[in-house]
Amino acid sequence: MSQFSFQLLHGDATTSARRGRFYTPRGVVETPAFMPVGTQGTVKGVEVNQLRRTGAQMILGNTYHLALRPGAEVIRRLGGLHAFSGWEGPILTDSGGFQVFSLASQAKVSDHGVEFRSHIDGRRMEFTPERAIEIQQSLGSDVMMVLDHVVKLPNDRDVIRDASRRTVAWAQRSRDLTIRDDQVLFAIVQGGLDEELRCQCADALVALDFGGYAVGGLSVGEPPEDMYRILDITCPRLPADRPRYLMGVGRPEDLLSAIARGIDLFDCVMPTRNGRNALAFTDEGRLRLRNRRHHDDPRPLEADCPCPACRRSRGYLRHLFAAGEMLGPILLSIHNLTYYQRLLSAAREAIVEDRFDAFRRQKLAGWGLPLSLWP
């Protein structure tokens, strides 16, 4: 009997946004939720105590990276990914599919699985649907993702169709495996920007009855309206009583537009990667902290933000980047993660109060973005 369930609390009256609650053995995740990315067993530069205080409920780990280094067996011997990293809340691990097809070299795919060379040491490796689950079982993540076949976009329709078909076949093989009831399996809808292929893939996966459904292969350079078009046709085909996860997305404006379409879970490196590069998210748009104009600015990034970066001045943060101090990337990563969590928390409130559309418009206006571009 699975220890996971998803409770739908409220549907927004103005959009398809959903307020939900994802129950896991390691705690409840209030949705919509944003998962910070801890690629190699740590959210870059952020200690777990700091991470918890940003409001993060659940984090993501990368199966591909962890399998290569230090190796799933080492992590298993060290007590699993939770004990290893010190993060006690729920963890979702991806399947490695995206990285094998983007980071690794010489990826050779067959119906059996995918062979590739490690981008770290060139070592030859193989992921099969079974091996991807076995690795995630060693890691001991709470949510495991099935191995999927991700192709570059744009691409030939036949290539996308073939990858989508293989993704479903791999999902079937994953579904047939025995998994513990303190882990749950999510499937990934593929199909590129082709509405028909997306629908076929979604329907086939739904028939297999997974604990949750991800939409993959988006946010890979396509115009936003293409992503939203795919979400518009995919989300309604997914069961209402399972969490929906949009992988690798994204900018704050993307999150709100996807929430409006019924997405519940997100992950993205954007808050931390941008933080390391001196870019801060605020309700009035983005700030580039390397800019000289901040050098003696006594204001915090945001007056009402409770994060440690906002207990200092912009002048101080600018100084840290100018002086090459590690604390600059650390503080801005923490601020951006806090910004994302506060945004999602406010979004959850807006949904419950049936004013998500107005909320989204107000945020876009604050960021200086036209609604036409983020429909």
Which residue ranges make up the site for a copy of itself (CB under 8 A)? 40-42, 44-50, 65, 69-70, 74, 77-79, 83-86, 295-296, 298, 308, 311-313, 315-316, 318-320, 322-323, 325-327, 329-331
Q: Which of the residues 142, 194, 254, 267 is marked catalytic?
A: 267
Angle at 351 between CA 345 and CA 353, to 5 degrees: 105
Q: Two tokens at 321?
A: 């980047």
Q: Which of the residues 94, 194, 254, 264 is marked catalytic?
A: 94
- What's the closest the beta carbon of residue 66 comes to a copy of itself, in angstroms? 9
Phi-psi region of 206 (alpha: psi -120 to 50; beta: other; left: phi over 0): alpha
Of 187, 264, 204, nearest to 10 (Cα)?
264
181 is catalytic: no
212 or 271, CB closer to a copy of itself?
271
Percent helix, percent strand, percent coil in the chain, to nearest 5: 40, 20, 40
- What's the closest the beta carbon of residue 306 comes to a copy of itself, in angstroms? 12
**Which residues are CB-contacts of 291 (< 8 A; sequence separation ≥ 6)?**
318
64 or 186, CB closer to a copy of itself?
64
69 or 157, CB closer to a copy of itself?
69
- Rg of the chain over Cα atoms, rounded to whole angstroms, equals 20
111 is catalytic: no
73 or 241, CB closer to a copy of itself?
73
- What's the closest the beta carbon of residue 339 comes to a copy of itself, in angstroms? 17
173 or 273, CB closer to a copy of itself?
273
Q: How far is 193 from 18, CA to CA, in rounded Å?
A: 24
Q: How far is 331 from 354, CA to CA, in rounded Å?
A: 34
Q: Classify residue 198 by its DSSP letter.
A: H
Q: How far is 92 from 85, CA to CA, in rounded Å?
A: 13
| Helix H or strand E segment including 214 | strand 212-215
Q: How far is 316 from 249, CA to CA, in rounded Å?
A: 31
Catalytic center residues: 94, 267
